[in-house]
Structure 1
Amino acid sequence: MRMKKKKKSFPKKPALVLTAAALLLVGSTVGSTRAALTYYSENYSAQMNMQSIGVSLLENDKVVSSRDYVSNNEWKGTSDGTLLTNLLGKDETFTPGKKYNEAISVKNSGTIDTFVRVIITKSWQDEKGNKNTNLSPDLIELNFLTDNGWQVANAQSTRERTVLYYTKALKAGKPTPALSDTLRINPSIASDVTKVPKGKTITYTYKYNGYTFHIDAEVDAVQTHNAKDAIKSAWGVDVNVSDDETTMSLQ
């Protein structure tokens, strides 16, 4: 997922957003990771109480990042969290090809029903944080679950970015089902190697050596009241919403 910088000013959109990013060096133990939260102000303030909105990102049923609106542009919750901190056991080394538990979900930590969207972005970066677009994001395999209310928006997705919508209204205090269950790095990264003869010596250079994989999860929550217009304003997409505003579908 891309790491989003904190904004000094917020556009007026009927949504709140949080992002969390994870970095893991292939072949090493897990290091510290960061999560950043960004929230948008409310364009439908006349139609709802801002103190009612909140959202949390969960990883394996544990809250990674969360913030709820209090009042006067004040929020409560954590603006920085960690991801993948419990991915490995003690002294365990990350192993390409192995599947690790990575259940990502969203909780409505506010007091009104909302619709939620998650954007997962995958990339490879060097030690300076520069993205290498020649390395394949397809090798970062997050297994998505789409038989439990989550829907992948294929028209909005790319090889790097997967956009998912939870098609049911998320009730206050409730979590969604997990949108993923496992994470693994395709073991083919270990076979992508170049042999370089130097006299009597042969050097092997691994294409992915020194790179980290980067997973970015951006979560948006939008009120269910007047949801069709709120979603169009916040996310720029057209959706169908049921008359009772309990379900939505992509057009």
Structure 2
Amino acid sequence: MKKKKKSFPKKSALLLTASALLLIGSTVGSTRAALTYYSENYSAQIEMQNIGVSLLENGDVVSSQDFTSKNQKEVKDGELLTGLLGKDEKFAPGKKYKEELSVQNSGNIDTFVRVILTKSWQNKEGKKNTTLSPDLIELNFLTANGWVVADQQTTDERTVLYYTKAVKAGDTTPALSDTLRIDPKIATDVEKTVKDNTITYTYKYGNYTFHIDAEVDAVQTHNAKDAIKSAWGVDVNVSDDETTMSLQ
């Protein structure tokens, strides 16, 4: 008798993009953010309505993707970094700003979750700049609370994190980060111009924007080892009760 092949939902995912204009000495009005989403088709074995995922910033839901009983996608669109600066506060490279990112299981089955964060720079024309290092955009990751950084999948530009505990329906993970900081050495690169015996110094990267893309994925805990391999293409170890996982 031929063994029936298992099928699994690929993933419930949302893609969130945040950008902030790096104007040295700028006001809060220079901070902006935009959100975009995408989703993938699910197999017939698990209905889409069972899986939902939300991204929280400093305790507030900024974006979510869920499904109604009729398998209709419901997306909550919000803005990131709106509370980055206080009233009339100027952006300061080197200062640590509160940026606590966490994931909520907004579906009705237990799931494992993964987050992929991608950092980049763009010039004033909106073109990606590859000479500025993404390392200048510093998110402080917290890995003593169940989150783990997948070193073999991580580059200077991209960080991949897995939460190693199953997230029950309605529960929220601990924060995977707590602060955001731009390395102050970006403000030391100045250009000198001389005109009519007047010397002017301007910041070389004064009109650049830094970008953080956050991709959040969730898969069900049932048959988690095979489901994670199918959805994420990675090999993991899963406990017998399917409440914890670890990377191989």
TM-score, normalised relative to structure 1: 0.88
Structure 1 distance, partners of 2:224, 2:98, is: 33
Matched with 1:4 is none
Is 1:237 matched with 2:231?
no
2:119 corresponds, among 102, 122, 127, to 122
2:89 corresponds, among 83, 89, 92, to 92
Q: How far 1:196 moved relative to its partner?
A: 5.4
Q: How far 1:49 moved relative to its partner?
A: 3.4
Q: Are the counterparts in 1 of residues 13 and 65 from structure 2 also a CA contact under 8 Å? A: no
Q: Match for 1:245: what amino acid?
A: E
2:103 corresponds, among 103, 106, 117, to 106
Q: Are the counterparts in 1 of residues 48 and 71 from structure 2 also a CA contact under 8 Å? A: no
Matched with 1:227 is 224
Matched with 1:218 is 215
Q: How far 1:21 moved relative to its partner?
A: 1.4
> Gaps (5+ residues) in structure 2?
1-7
Q: Are the counterparts in 2 of residues 16 and 38 from structure 1 also a CA contact under 8 Å? A: no
Matched with 2:36 is 36
Q: Are the counterparts in 1 of residues 122 and 210 from structure 2 also a CA contact under 8 Å? A: yes
> Gaps (5+ residues) in structure 1?
1-11
1:12-91 alignment, distance < 5 Å: 13-26=9-22, 27=24, 28=26, 29=28, 30-43=30-43, 45-46=44-45, 48-78=46-76, 80-91=77-88
Q: Are the counterparts in 2 of residues 140 and 184 from structure 1 also a CA contact under 8 Å? A: yes
Matched with 2:158 is 161
Moved over 6 A (4+): none
Structure 2 distance, partners of 1:174, 1:183, is: 25
Q: How far 1:173 moved relative to its partner?
A: 0.1
For the structure 1 residues 125 and 52, does the alpha-carbon distance in structure 2 shift closer, same or farther, using more than 3 Å as the test?
same
Identity of counterpart residues, as a percentage?
67
SS at match of 2:114: strand
Structure 2 distance, partners of 1:225, 1:54, is: 15
For the structure 1 residues 76 and 221, does the alpha-carbon distance in structure 2 shift closer, same or farther, using more than 3 Å as the test?
same
Q: Match for 2:162: what amino acid?
A: Y
Structure 1 distance, partners of 2:175, 2:134, is: 21
Q: Are the counterparts in 2 of residues 105 and 176 from structure 1 also a CA contact under 8 Å? A: yes
Structure 2 distance, partners of 1:17, 1:127, is: 30
Q: Are the counterparts in 2 of residues 126 and 212 from structure 1 also a CA contact under 8 Å? A: yes
Q: Match for 2:67: what amino acid?
A: Y
Let me know the Cα RMSD of the aligned residues: 1.8
For the structure 1 residues 201 and 91, does the alpha-carbon distance in structure 2 shift closer, same or farther, using more than 3 Å as the test?
closer
Is 1:173 matched with 2:170?
yes
Per-residue Cα deviation, 1:122-175 (whole angstroms, up to 9, x for no partner): 111123321101011111111000000000001101101000000000110000
Structure 1 distance, partners of 2:107, 2:117, is: 23
Structure 2 distance, partners of 1:111, 1:219, is: 17
Matched with 1:8 is none
Q: Are the counterparts in 2 of residues 52 and 110 from structure 1 also a CA contact under 8 Å? A: yes
SS at match of 1:37: coil
Q: Are the counterparts in 1 of residues 238 and 244 from structure 2 also a CA contact under 8 Å? A: yes
Q: Are the counterparts in 2 of residues 14 and 223 from structure 1 also a CA contact under 8 Å? A: no
Structure 2 distance, partners of 1:108, 1:208, is: 39
TM-score, normalised relative to structure 2: 0.89
Q: How far 1:200 moved relative to its partner?
A: 5.0
Q: May I ask how many residue pairs the two structures share in their alignment? A: 237
